[in-house]
Amino acid sequence: MGKGIFITGTDTGVGKTFFTASLARYLHSCGFRVGVMKPAESGCREIDGQFIPEDALALKAASGSADSIETICPYRLPEPLAPSLAAERAGVKIDVDHLRAVYEDIRARNDITLVEGAGGLMVPLLPSYTYADFAGSLKLPLLVVGANRLGVINHLLLTLEQASCRGSSVLGYVLNHL
């Protein structure tokens, strides 16, 4: 059974997917079996009645994963909103137990599994359940990605403080040049 890492951001649009895909590609090139997961992706385009999760597809391609996109990204939502709100507006109920089971299945088949959140650590996956709660329930250490721009120090320190208050371990942070 492999280990896992939860990749979060200081905000939305900071390059989490770029970083996660780059890390997955690197680990795969080193010979590791790399699992990837994007529990919920909002803002998906609809093509032929299917919602297409671009971030999850990028992770799949970078990691060399043979998992289906439905496994990698169990919840694909049309509106570009926090997953809890996007799911509510789409009439979808996100099941955290299902997400945990999917993660455990992916983890069991890989050397390392990278789980990418949406937005920041405190973005709600359910109305009263955040990505911080999800990462904590899986006991995953965090990597935090921030855009290297004005305000990043505050956003980064707020994210690190929240992680510390929740007892989450932080492996490190990345300042991404967008």
Q: Tokens 């007892």 sit at which residue?
A: 167
Phi, psi of 161 (to 5 degrees): -65, -45
Residue 3 annotated in active site: no
Residue 143 forms beta bridges with which residues? 7, 172
Sign of the C-alpha dihedral computed for residues 82, 137, 146 and 178 taken in this order: negative
Helix H or strand E encompassing 26: helix 16-29
Phi, psi of 109 (to 5 degrees): -100, 0
Determine which one of 3, 16, 38, 139 is catalytic: 38
* Direct distance between the N- and C-terminal alpha carbons of the chain, in angstroms, rounded to an integer: 35
Hey, which residues are catalytic here?
Answer: 38
